Structure 1
């Protein structure tokens, strides 16, 4: 049974009030809330085993190292990576994308091609632009269709023997559209290109199986899956991680340093320079344990109920348009009301305790495609309720009355 009240009790912040109203938190696409088990684990690390890792023979260092590496094993199992050393700790999805883009910039030749999509977050566009500028490669773009899907016919036409990498998101942060990444990966591999998947918006809602997907890279952020900020994971196939040069130099990532030459450590340490976010890495494993305890099948089924209910209720508001009308979609509703700027709606519903995101959501090409300044985005997690959606709908109706 999916006990929503028991789940909500795990999240202390959901008892808070905003502007004297009960908090309705629908900005989960930006960051998720944290269960008490995660909050307790942060305090436990700093009060019981705080020490640097991989470097000390003393007891606390060993305890911290064991806990950190145990978290790596948990994440390996969670995403079904073949090897634990294919799991790199990062500060988030953006760091993972930049790590790979920096490496590819040194492998690409002038005239090589990278493909991204019109559906990407800026973080999965700009690093590849940098890589192209540095290498002389060419950036190509999979276009959008009116319903928010990517045009797969054009994608196949873009693939050539010059294509070296395809970088797309698993789920759109702005629209909630779930991309056909299995198809994208298969077609890219047929012409010998690598595939990078931005999983930041997918991992809160599903368990990615990187071996089944056969992707070459998969990145996600801890703070979107009930973990702490400043944490993330980059999965990379062993062969690719060995082929890429290090992203940063410093302690931990070296094997031997002389003034004449430096050699690098084996994976994963080759890409983990310096003292990491130790507490964050450990607690990320705790967050993943919590989500698996709730169960991703149960999460997916419940969040689909929320999405369907919110879509039905919001569409009853005259003049309201939802962007991203596809069959395969995560629990995100991105909308506008005719004649009203999205920022104004967001500001008014906030006065009623409802937290939504407004603007371009770091996805300006999408907004340019629809010729709009931005949207109101309500993004749901498994701890939200239909009653909260009712509050959102009434708040939007009130905003409409006030602004028109």
Structure 2
């Protein structure tokens, strides 16, 4: 999945950006050679696919961090309908993790256990995997990517193997399509006492053992920057294990702090990039503005950066203009930008309508001029997306606090 790299130009003024986008709209952009509308047409089947290690997948994955079981309630029915619609249109690549579906209580237990306090053996989560496994029983074949959680008490390669077996059982499969380390081993509750010990190589060995045992078909990582990627890539190569993927935050608003450099490193070494938060938690959909703020107050600072009104207005206007010319929504344009830059977006969808909208982002590609306009508009906003209060892009909340990593 090659990346052509960032466009290097000084951000023009907002007025110039809008004029260029408006000219594109007035001129009418040519459609690509397949459907580029606002949603998947009836009977459409996704043909915009790629290779991910040994896997044949669509060029977008469905993120399921918000797929939480409802004990047979309305939410379960809606998510089942979402899964069925995704299978129907060929968007059959689902990203999950053993942590997805975990309760706040499990986080407290994790923190206590990490500090050596008695806390029992509460599971890390797994209900998200189990939900997907139940949906997949009577459905066409799906591709599932899941993740192993580095925690202090997992101190051996065998712990990775055991966790992989548990994930496979919840997903109802003898093996895992793609198994990823969820983050670098940053959870170090005794760091303050000088007793931090990163176990990344231990976990890489566990991934290698899973691969050679046939328990895992492809191996990936998440939230790794170029330095740690190079170490991991070399370690796995010695064990004759290909490093298939790296999942990071990447979008029009998330190109700094090592993200673009990580995408470029991955392109040069044949490692696929899975991009989470490709819509910057909804900021790139055109739905929110300074006049219509989201309920998540942690996102307000992006819309009102440094007290300015509509900080994202130039970028949203460019997305809307290009989308109008192509018959697409701003969100579809933003997702297509991620694809055109060599990454595979992981998109949180929770309804059949979301699935059909996601399908409209595939099957076509932005041109060079369109990408230039979008990147210049993003640069003019003066905003770098770093997540929300309890969902940052460079840290995990682990009960006793946040533990951080840096891509660069």
User: Shared fold (TM-score greater than 0.5)?
Assistant: no
TM-score where L is the length of structure 2: 0.34
TM-score where L is the length of structure 1: 0.35
Greater RCO between the two (CA within 8 Å, min separation 6)?
A: 2
In terms of fraction of residues, the more strand-rich structure is 1
Larger radius of gyration: 1
In terms of fraction of residues, the more helix-rich structure is 1
